[in-house]
Each structure stands twice: as C-alpha cells, then as structure tokens.
Amino acid sequence: MIEARRLHILRAVADHRTVTAAAAALYLTPSAVSQQLAALEQETGHRLVERSARGVRLTAAGDILLTHANAVLAQLERAESELAAYGSGEAGTVTVAAFATGIGLVVAPALTALARTAPGIRVHVQDAEGDASLLMVLDRQVDVAVAVEYRGAPGADDPRLTRVPLYAEPFDAVLPPGHRLADTDRLAVADLAGDPWIGPYPGNPCHDVVVLACEYAGFQPRLEHTSDDFRAVVALASAAAGVALVPRSALRDMDLTGVVVRPVDDVAPTRRVFAAVRRGAEEHPLFRPVLAALREAAASQG
C-alpha cells in the first residue's frame, strides 16, 4: 500500500529538484526525505529518482507515479473539503501568500469584505513574490496564493493547482523628465531599445514580462540597475539612471513628480494575476469565500 504522505514528498522533490530544498519546504531533514523516497521505491518496486551533482530528477517510473500522485492528492483535498463542509466550516484560519501590490489591490479589500460576510474566517497574509507563492501552496505552507503569470508558471491545466483569474494590468513606461520621448503622448517599447534600463531581478515575474516585451520588440534590454522595489525603480528613473516598465497599479499613490509616465502602444506588456489553491481544495468551505472575495475585489478595480 502506497502512503499518501510519501506521494506528497515525491511531488515536492519533483517541484524543487533537490532533496535538500524539498526537505526545507516540508520542514523535514534531508535524510528523512531520502528515507521516505527509499520506502516509496520499495513499496512500488521501481526506482523513482535519479541523483546527480545537479540534484535529482524523476525516472520514467517516477513520472508515471507523479501523474497518479497529483490525482490522488487532489482527491484527498476534495475529501477534506467535503468533510469540512459537513462540519459546517464556518470558522477557521486561511493563510494567503501574495506579492506586495496584490496585497494592496485585492487582498486587503477582500479582508474588509470577509469581515462582514464571513466573520468566522481569519486570514493570515504573507508577502511573497508571485513565483514563490505557488510552491508555498503546493508545499502546504499556505492555503491560497495570489500569483503572477510568468515564464514557466504552472498552466491553467496543471493537475496540481486550480487557478482563479483575478485581473490583468498594463505596464507603463517610466522615463526621466529630460528624456527625448518625454513630450510624446504614447510610445512603443522598441523606441527604448537604445536606453539603459532599470528593472526587477531575474526570477521576479515582472522581470520576465519586461524582458519578453523587449524581445517581442526586437531587442534585449540593457539592464544596468536592478530592484524589486518599484519605488526604488521610479527613484532611479528620476535620477536619469535609465528607463523602466512598471505595472500601472504599482504607480498608484506614488510620487511621480520626478518622472514622466507614458502608456505603451502596440501590444502593451501585461501583468496577469490569478489566485491558486491546491487542486481539489477550491470547494473547501473556508477557501471558497476567500476566493470569492478576491474575485470581487479584483472586479471592483474595474
């Protein structure tokens, strides 16, 4: 008989690609993870992982078992949801991981609405970048992620997650006040090909959006300054350090007197934001009101 917790460990190893990282995410020791993998291999009679200097990867048998593991774990989430519904599920705690702008735009308004509509639900919020929050959900560190579409993000058909679209917003160009295009009403990303750039670090989903927009326009941005804090990005632009593309919501309530902000013509780079829970957990009586409140908060941004 295959134990479900060992399937969860197998999935964590597949997601994190090293035993050490999977162990840290699951709050286990690397030796404990290795022991559980060995026990799972003994239970199945197949070698499931291959180790190398670069980490671990699943064997063909491991890939087969992972497909079934995703289905089994999703079904267990559904079972927990139904049992929680049977027990009323009117009170409890839900943990939400979201990036800073998402917290301000949809998570905080959702908390205000939940205080009226579902006062028995307590929500704990953690600040996490959009790519990190999805792994936090899969590792059961949090219940709900507010994440950003990025290169390599799990797709809508990913068997591990259920995604709920929230909103999409364009990136605007942020220029120094003396920039040659400061007097134009709109500009194209290609117009900035020769400029020095300011942007997020690689690994930040917004970095992918900016780089892909520039690649689509036919050039690689010359990224001379990096910061994940958009206030710092705007401050550097005001100092004529370069140009930037910044999500429109991140510019709200920011002092923009030292920069010029312009919309982008053609196919504007866009940040697409969604909520995600483990597949099968979307009908959990605690998670369902939180997802609904997030959708309503996003819709109210209009």
- The domains found in the chain, sorted by start residue, are 4-83 (1.10.10.10), 88-165+272-300 (3.40.190.10), 168-271 (3.40.190.10)
Looking at residue 302, its pLDDT comes to: 61
Q: What is the DSSP string of 196-262?
A: EEEEPPTTSHHHHHHHHHHHHTTS--EEEEE-S-HHHHHHHHHTTS-BEEEEGGGGTT---TTSEEE
- Residue 293 pairs with which residues in a beta bridge? none
Per-residue pLDDT tens listing for the chain (302 residues) = 788 889 889 999 989 989 999 899 888 998 899 898 988 988 888 999 998 878 888 999 999 999 998 888 888 888 887 777 666 666 788 999 999 889 999 999 999 999 999 888 899 999 997 678 999 999 999 999 999 887 777 888 899 999 999 999 899 999 999 899 999 988 999 999 999 999 998 888 889 889 989 998 999 999 999 998 999 999 999 999 999 999 998 898 898 999 999 999 876 788 889 999 999 999 898 999 999 999 999 999 76
**CA 250 distance to own-chain centroid:** 16
